[in-house]
C-alpha cells in the first residue's frame, strides 16, 4: 500500500536535517546478540501543537514528494528498537505578541526513518 505524506504537513519537513542513527549491537536479556542499528533519518524540530497533529501518522510509512521524492518516512514514537530517538523536549521559546502579551511555544525534536523507495522500470 502506497500512502502519501499529507500535503498539509509538507512544511513541517522544511529545514529537516538528514542524520544517521547508529547504535551498537547489544546483548539482550536472554543472552542473544541484537543487531547494530544504522539507518538514515530526518531530524525535525516541531512545535508541540504540530507534533500532536502528526501523532496519528506515527509508525506508518509515507512516501514523499518534492525535494524528497523517491523517499519514504516513518515517524518514530514508541518502537523499542529506536528508543534513543523517541520524541524529546525541543525547548521553549518565549515571545511577545503584537498585543504586548507574552507567550511560550514548546518544541519537540522528532525523528523520521528515511528510506529510498525509487522503483525501477523495465525499458
- Looking at residue 6, its pLDDT comes to 94
- Encode pLDDT of 58-98 as tens digits: 989 999 988 888 899 999 998 887 888 899 999 999 999 89
The residues facing 38 across adjacent strands are: 22
In the chain, where are the structural domains located? 7-24+35-116
- Looking at residue 11, its pLDDT comes to 92
Handedness of CA 65, 49, 53, 113 (dihedral sign): positive
Give me 86's grid cell.
Answer: 523517541
Q: Judge contact between 110 and 76, C-beta under 8 A.
A: yes
Residue 20 has pLDDT above 90, yes or no: yes
Q: Which residue has the higher pLDDT, 123 or 21?
A: 21
**Distance, CA of 11 to CA of 14 (rounded, Å):** 5
Residue 121 has pLDDT above 60, yes or no: no
Sequence-ordered list of residues with C-beta below 8 angstroms from that of 109, at least 6 positions apart, any chain: 43, 44, 45, 46, 87, 88, 89, 90
Amino acid at each position: 500500500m502506497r500512502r502519501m505524506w499529507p500535503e498539509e504537513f509538507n512544511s513541517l519537513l522544511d529545514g529537516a536535517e538528514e542524520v544517521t542513527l547508529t547504535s551498537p549491537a547489544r546483548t539482550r536479556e536472554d543472552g542473544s546478540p541484537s543487531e547494530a542499528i544504522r539507518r538514515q533519518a530526518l531530524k525535525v524540530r516541531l512545535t508541540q501543537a504540530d507534533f500532536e497533529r502528526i501523532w496519528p501518522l506515527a509508525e506508518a510509512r509515507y512516501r514523499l514528494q518534492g525535494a524528497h521524492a523517491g523517499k519514504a518516512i516513518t515517524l518514530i514514537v514508541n518502537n523499542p528498537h529506536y528508543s534513543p530517538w523517541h520524541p524529546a523536549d525541543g525547548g521553549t521559546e518565549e515571545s511577545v505578541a503584537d498585543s504586548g502579551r507574552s507567550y511560550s511555544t514548546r518544541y519537540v525534536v522528532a525523528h523520521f526513518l528515511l528510506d529510498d523507495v525509487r522503483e525501477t522500470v523495465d525499458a
